[in-house]
Amino acid sequence: MVHAKAVQMRYQKFKERQRIRDIQKEKERCLKRIAELEKKHQCTNPECPQIFSSSSSQVSENEKVENKIAEVKKDEEIFKKPKVPNKSKKFKEPVNKKAKLSE
């Protein structure tokens, strides 16, 4: 049962990371599109530049995405397996049988 729970948690983390990657790709695509529109847009109306400036909703959404990314990275560090030395390969002192017999 514990294994099933661990697998489920890993799958949820995978899906969350996948969703974050999709959001980042969409964000980059949107930013490129906005840059293209700004280049094409030539208007003398003083209110127009405000349309293309980043609105507070976009900023808050970007912050949410960045916070989620940081959270996922922290979770990945937690779920990393710690390196435990293999106990079967511990260093053993060589036994000098000849020295013991001569004593």
pLDDT in tens, 12-58: 999 999 999 998 898 889 888 888 877 776 666 666 655 555 444 55
Best CA proximity match to 65, nearest among 20, 30, 22? 20
The more confidently predicted of residues 80 and 15 is 15
Rg (CA), the chain: 29
pLDDT confidence of residue 15 = 92
**pLDDT above 60 for 103:** no
Best CA proximity match to 25, nearest among 35, 33, 37, 13? 33
Spell 14-30 as b/e; 16+ CB within 10 A means b: eeebeebeebeeeeeee
**What is the average per-residue pLDDT within 66-89?**
67
pLDDT confidence of residue 90 = 52
**What is the average per-residue pLDDT within 55-80?**
69
